[in-house]
Amino acid sequence: MGYDPAAALLVVDVQNDFADRTGSLYVAGGEEVAELINQQVASAQDAGAVIVYTQDWHPRSTPHFAKDGGMWPVHCVADTWGAEFYPDLVVVDNAIRIRKGVGGEDGYSAFNLRDPESAEQSTTGLADSLRSRGVERVVIAGLALDYCVKETAVDAISEGLTATVIADATRAVNLRPVTEPGR
């Protein structure tokens, strides 16, 4: 990916509830991304790039969850097995860590949070943190492509960063699976 100190690798939500087959919001093939991401982490580290890990980190009740009026099953509840990083993922000590949804907001993007009722947006502080380190471009991998990875890429571009998504190192939830035309 051509990492250097002006780049950051964003590892999005590779957590047990998404990557483990027994997770409450398992993403098909999610367990497969860890090895590919680990290779990217090693390359980024060797080049002096910034590494960022995000985690969904929800309270037990939030309008984000179906049981509370949202669309998602309960997942990644703070301090539970489901919220922990998937064990096959290499997590480096000197990385930036962003926990999303801590206050019950929708935390799709690594950059911004959104109140699920008012739609009011707030920042995670990641953009300022990356700018202060001289980061100009981000490389994004993780789960899930059609929600958190996509929203992170869109917000990165909105923040003036160049964004690349490593398609092989992500998987989609596919809540609305693509069907063949005419079916």
76 is catalytic: no
Residue in 17, 76, 100, 106 annotated catalytic = 100
Taking 50 as the threshold, does the pLDDT of residue 120 lie above it? yes
What does the pLDDT look like over 123-165, one tens digit per residue? 999 999 999 999 999 999 999 999 999 999 999 999 999 999 9
What does the pLDDT look like over 24-37, one tens digit per residue? 999 999 999 999 99
Taking 80 as the threshold, does the pLDDT of residue 175 lie above it? no
CB neighbourhood size of 117 (10 A): 12
Task: Report yes or no: 120 and 103 within 8 Å, Cβ to Cβ.
Answer: no
Percent of the chain with pLDDT over 70: 95
Taking 80 as the threshold, does the pLDDT of residue 70 lie above it? yes
pLDDT bin (cut points 50, 70, 90) of residue 116 is confident
Residue in 17, 56, 148, 155 annotated catalytic = 148
Taking 50 as the threshold, does the pLDDT of residue 183 lie above it? no
Task: Report yes or no: 76 and 106 within 8 Å, Cβ to Cβ.
Answer: no
Q: Which is the CATH superfamily of the domain at 7-171?
A: Isochorismatase-like (3.40.50.850)
Task: Report yes or no: 140 and 153 within 8 Å, Cβ to Cβ.
Answer: yes
Taking 80 as the threshold, does the pLDDT of residue 18 lie above it? yes
Taking 70 as the threshold, does the pLDDT of residue 109 lie above it? yes
Which DSSP string do the residues of the chain spell out, in sequence order? ----TTEEEEEE--BHHHHSTTSTTPPTTGGGHHHHHHHHHHHHHHHT-EEEEEEE-B-SS-TTBGGGTSSB-S--BTTSGGGSBPTTS---TTSEEEEESTTS-B--SSSEEE-TTT--EEE-SHHHHHHHTT--EEEEEEE-IIIIIHHHHHHHHHTT-EEEEEEEEEE---SS----TT-
Residue in 13, 56, 106, 155 annotated catalytic = 13
